[in-house]
């Protein structure tokens, strides 16, 4: 077992209807959704998961009111990282809020699933607004197809459903396998409250291109991970390191 640590870098916060995270449940309940970039410390390369977006972009362009938690650069500075230092960015998927700042990483490779890139370049009209080619055209992509081992410390689990080519990131830590879950989700998706748990072991993410695949991917994550890191869970805003 290696000694990798995951550092959450919280960038911005939005207020959303909880049903966007919990399919067909919790309508009318407002929750906080935090957008992060994740730094995996303990590998030979400088590796991040996702590339974030600015609160200004979401608020002004997408008309999604977002509150800045900290400038992206400030979060990297605190960890002693510059944009040009990053070797690899693993993109869980290519929605605008996970890739909008990618071009700032001038020397990085970007790991993406084949199905995700193909879909993002020709998205279905119903979800096309979530993809913006200007954020990922010209990136130095490393394209994979399905599960993959990236290094001794990091592996990829193919987890479609939120998007056609979503992927999650498995990290070996001193306390077992931590999984940065590539579906837009919160802790409740993986650990439902008791009334729901009596009917279903997990909750399907509310935003998806395929609800059945999304459910199956959440199940897959719970089966292999010792520590689950849902990528919009607000509780990680208070954590400096996982585990």
* CATH at residue 134: 3.60.15.10
End-to-end CA distance of the chain: 14
pLDDT tens-digit series, residues 121-152: 999 999 999 999 999 999 999 999 999 999 99
pLDDT confidence of residue 61: 77
pLDDT confidence of residue 182: 97
**Number of independent structural domains in the chain:** 1
- Please report the DSSP string for the chain in residue order: ----EEEEEEEEEEEEEGGGTSTT--TT-EEEEEEEEEEEESSSS-EEE-----HHIIIIIS---EEESS-HHHHHHHTT--GGG--EEE-S---HHHHTTGGG-TT-EEEEEHHHHHHHHS--TTTGGG--GGGTTT--EEEE-S-EE-SSSEEEEE--SSSTT-EEEEEEETTEEEEEE-SS--HHHHS--HHHHTT-SS---SS-S-HHHHHHHHHHHHHH-SEEEETT-GGGGG-SSB-
Asked, for residue 186, whether it belongs to a domain, the answer is: yes
Q: How far apart are CA 169 and CA 229, in angstroms?
A: 10
- Say whether pLDDT at 52 is over 60: yes
- Say whether pLDDT at 38 is over 60: yes
Q: Give the torsion through C-alpha atoms of 41, 44, 49, 52, to 10 deg.
A: 90
pLDDT tens-digit series, residues 201-232: 999 999 999 999 999 999 999 999 999 999 99
Q: What is the mean pLDDT of residues 9-29?
A: 97
Asked, for residue 243, whether it belongs to a domain, the answer is: no
CB 54 within 8 A of CB 100: yes
Chain-centroid distance, C-alpha 92: 5
Domain of 106 in residue numbering reads as 5-238
Which two tokens mark 43?
């590998």
Q: How far apart are CA 164 and CA 137, in angstroms?
A: 19
Asked, for residue 147, whether it belongs to a domain, the answer is: yes
Asked, for residue 102, whether it belongs to a domain, the answer is: yes
CA angle 129, 131, 135 (to 5 degrees): 130
pTM of the model: 0.96
Asked, for residue 215, whether it belongs to a domain, the answer is: yes
Q: How far apart are CA 58 and CA 75, in angstroms?
A: 19
Q: In this structure, are strands 141-144 and 148-149 parallel, antiparallel, or unpaired?
A: unpaired
User: What is the pLDDT confidence band of residue 64, given thresholds at 50, 70 and 90?
Assistant: confident
Asked, for residue 82, whether it belongs to a domain, the answer is: yes
Q: How far apart are CA 217 and CA 201, in angstroms?
A: 13
pLDDT confidence of residue 63: 78
User: What is the pLDDT confidence band of residue 65, given thresholds at 50, 70 and 90?
Assistant: confident
Q: What is the mean pLDDT of residues 100-128?
A: 97
Asked, for residue 181, whether it belongs to a domain, the answer is: yes
- Provide the mean pLDDT of the chain: 96
Q: How far apart are CA 234 and CA 214, in angstroms?
A: 21
Asked, for residue 18, whether it belongs to a domain, the answer is: yes
- Say whether pLDDT at 27 is over 90: yes
* Ramachandran category for residue 236: left, alpha or beta (phi over 0 → left; psi -120 to 50 → alpha): alpha
| Burial class for 148, CB neighbours closer than 10 Å (0-12, 13-18, 19+) | middle
């Amino acid at each position: 077992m290696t000694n990798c640590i995951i550092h959450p870098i919280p960038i911005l916060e939005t207020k959303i209807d909880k049903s966007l995270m919990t399919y067909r449940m919790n309508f009318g309940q407002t929750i906080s959704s935090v957008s992060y970039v994740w730094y995996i410390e303990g590998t030979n390369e400088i590796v991040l998961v996702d590339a974030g977006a600015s609160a200004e972009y979401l608020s002004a362009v997408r008309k999604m009111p977002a509150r800045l938690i900290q400038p992206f650069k400030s979060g990297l500075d605190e960890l002693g990282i510059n944009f040009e230092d990053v070797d690899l960015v693993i993109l869980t998927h290519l929605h605008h809020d996970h890739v909008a700042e990618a071009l700032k990483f001038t020397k990085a490779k970007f790991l993406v699933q084949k199905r995700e890139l193909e879909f993002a370049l020709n998205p279905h009209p119903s979800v096309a607004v979530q993809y913006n080619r200007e954020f990922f055209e010209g990136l130095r992509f490393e394209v994979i197809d399905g599960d993959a081992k990236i290094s001794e410390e990091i592996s990829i689990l193919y987890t479609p459903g939120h998007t056609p080519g979503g992927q999650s990131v498995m990290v070996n830590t001193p306390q077992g396998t931590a999984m940065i879950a590539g579906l837009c989700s919160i802790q409740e998706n993986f650990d439902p409250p008791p009334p729901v748990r009596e009917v279903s072991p997990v909750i399907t993410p509310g935003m998806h291109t395929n609800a059945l695949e999304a459910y199956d991917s959440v199940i897959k994550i719970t089966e292999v991970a010792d520590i689950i890191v849902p990528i919009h869970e607000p509780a990680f805003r208070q954590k400096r390191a996982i585990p």
